Structure 1
Amino acid sequence: MFARPLVLSLALSAPALVSAAAPAPANELAQVQQHLQAVNSMVAGFAQTDRNGRTLTGTMTLKRPGKIRFQYQKGVPQLIVADGRSLYFIDYQVRQVERWPIGNSPLAVLLNPKKDIASFAKVIPTGSDQVVSVEVYDAKHPEYGRITLIFQKNASAPAGLMLQGWVALDSQNNRTSIRLSNQQFNTNVSDGTFRWNDPRRQGPR
């Protein structure tokens, strides 16, 4: 009940990047799958808004398969990073680290280019022929949560789609929305980008 307004707000605020005369694909879900398979890496600015309305900004770096990093703005002592095997949330202020298998996160759909989303994804109407919204939810694993991806049609982007952001809802109904900006696809990204310092090894304060 909460995700739809956020989806629509992202869709309505996205700029028109393609003329209305552009032909619509026969299968938008297949187009999304093609986009996911065509993206090897991506760097973008992000604005993250949580269920309490707090917004943090930073830089997102993605490299498939399995790697992503959310580097928050200066002064935020937190980091989210996936190293190809696990997804970590690191809080440097309290020196805590939480870990999940990558496949147990809604972000798995972004991190695995071989993942076939056809059996557990559906297109959500947006009211705009320039916006494609896809909800991904595996009913066999509701504990993984769900994610709604929002794309803007753009002929210069991979498979004709520009990822604008997403809304993630975890199994406890905690909602997080991500809005992307300045997206750059398939640039050279070093594996070292996804290394991180473990605060638990720094000893007592």
Structure 2
Amino acid sequence: MILASHRLRKLLLPVLFAALPGLAGAAALDQFKSFVATAKSAKGEFTQRQIKTVDGAQKPAGVSSGSFMFARPGKFIWTYQKPYDQLLQADGEKLYIYDKDLNQVTVKPLGDALGSSPAAILFGSNDLEKNFSLKEAGSRDGLEWLEATPRSRDTTFERIAIGLKDGLPQAMELRDAFGQVTQLSFTRFEKNPNLPAGQFRFTVPKGADVFQQ
């Protein structure tokens, strides 16, 4: 259990699209609100980079990658494939975290797990401004950026930045209180795919240890 918790701290708990006509040059806030209103489901791939601050300098601390799919509100599958297998899956009520190497499942109430987390932005309800303060954050790297600040102090991240282009989230940056940064980039994004009924229902793998939190 200690090893699993150590691994999970390194991952995003989450923890996040087809172009929309007329939004190519729109401000980030307009693009994002349009995306949230029209993207009922999605799937794609991600690359995640960890950056730590060491002696005042930011240094790479690991890269992982995988795939994701979601259906609003609160249903998603976030799969880490490299450097090792791990699955975060939510069925709208509970969050299941499965460590394949340990054959171990941790179960949490979804409301507690989402809250003001990055996952709430991409996978939660449309009522974002209930949990986040949103504002424009300018242009860089060819993207229009939005900054989301959690209204609750009881959250891992201090600030979350979202980079958009053509009405789609292309990147996220998550900064915690210790100056560590998690960078996410999204590719092969498909908006509103036809996801099978029961896709997000989690089945405990044979022989797995289950821990309720």
* TM-score greater than 0.5 by the shorter chain: yes
In 2, the alpha carbon distance for the partners of 1:126 and 1:108 equals 24
What is the identity, as a one-letter code, of the residue corresponding to 1:108?
A
Structure 1 residues 54-65: aligned runs within 5 Å: 54-65=62-73
2:164 is aligned, of 151, 154, 169, to 151
In 1, the alpha carbon distance for the partners of 2:181 and 2:197 equals 30
In 2, the alpha carbon distance for the partners of 1:191 and 1:173 equals 41
C-alpha contact 1:109 1:117 (8 A) present in aligned 2? no
1:182 is aligned, of 181, 188, 205, to 188
Aligned residues with identical type, % of pairs: 22
Instruction: Note the C-alpha offset of 1:191.
Output: 4.5
| 1:167 pairs with 2:173 | yes
What is the identity, as a one-letter code, of the residue corresponding to 2:90?
A
C-alpha spacing 1:96/1:186, structure 2 compared with 1 (3 Å): closer
In 2, the alpha carbon distance for the partners of 1:184 and 1:114 equals 19
**Residues 104-157 of structure 1: per-residue CA shift (max 9 Å, x gap):** 4221111234214396011112246x52111111243352523211111x2xxx
Instruction: Compare the two structures and name the one with the higher strand fraction.
Output: 2
SS at match of 2:31: helix
Question: Where does residue 146 of structure 2 map in the other structure?
Answer: 134
Structure 2: tracts of 5 or more residues without a match: 1-18, 52-59
In 1, the alpha carbon distance for the partners of 2:29 and 2:205 equals 41
C-alpha spacing 1:105/1:64, structure 2 compared with 1 (3 Å): same
| 1:196 pairs with 2:202 | yes
What is the identity, as a one-letter code, of the residue corresponding to 1:73?
Q
SS at match of 1:190: coil
What is the identity, as a one-letter code, of the residue corresponding to 1:135?
E
C-alpha spacing 1:50/1:81, structure 2 compared with 1 (3 Å): farther
In 1, the alpha carbon distance for the partners of 2:107 and 2:180 equals 17
Aligned-residue CA RMSD (Å): 3.1
Instruction: Compare the two structures and name the one with the higher helix fraction.
Output: 1
TM-score, normalised on structure 2? Answer: 0.67
Structure 1: tracts of 5 or more residues without a match: 1-16, 155-160
In 2, the alpha carbon distance for the partners of 1:113 and 1:97 equals 23
C-alpha spacing 1:149/1:124, structure 2 compared with 1 (3 Å): same
TM-score, normalised on structure 1? Answer: 0.70
